[in-house]
Amino acid sequence: MTYMRRLGRLPDQLPEVFSIALPSGEILYSDQWLKRVPLQIDDRELFVDHVLLEMQEYE
């Protein structure tokens, strides 16, 4: 995944599988996440957790 390469990090395993239903009816599953990723908003730095989802044909 390009995003992970840019961060220079490897994902961690989630304790259980995460699923999300898209408006199209498709369900995506993941068992990987990135913990405490820095996010800059204005002049504040926050730390967020990202669940990694494999998305095909995303524009």
What residue ranges do the domains of the chain occupy?
2-51
User: Is the pTM here over 0.85, yes or no?
Assistant: no
Mean predicted confidence (pLDDT) in 39-55:
91
Flag whether pLDDT at 16 surpasses 60.
Answer: yes
Flag whether pLDDT at 1 surpasses 60.
Answer: no
Cα 33 to chain centroid, rounded: 6
Contact predicate 33/51, CB 8 Å: yes
Q: What is the pLDDT of residue 4?
A: 72
Dist. CA 32–CA 16, nearest whole Å: 9
Dist. CA 54–CA 59, nearest whole Å: 13
Summarised one tens digit per residue, pLDDT across range 21-32 is: 989 898 999 999
Contact predicate 41/16, CB 8 Å: no
Q: What is the pLDDT of residue 30?
A: 94
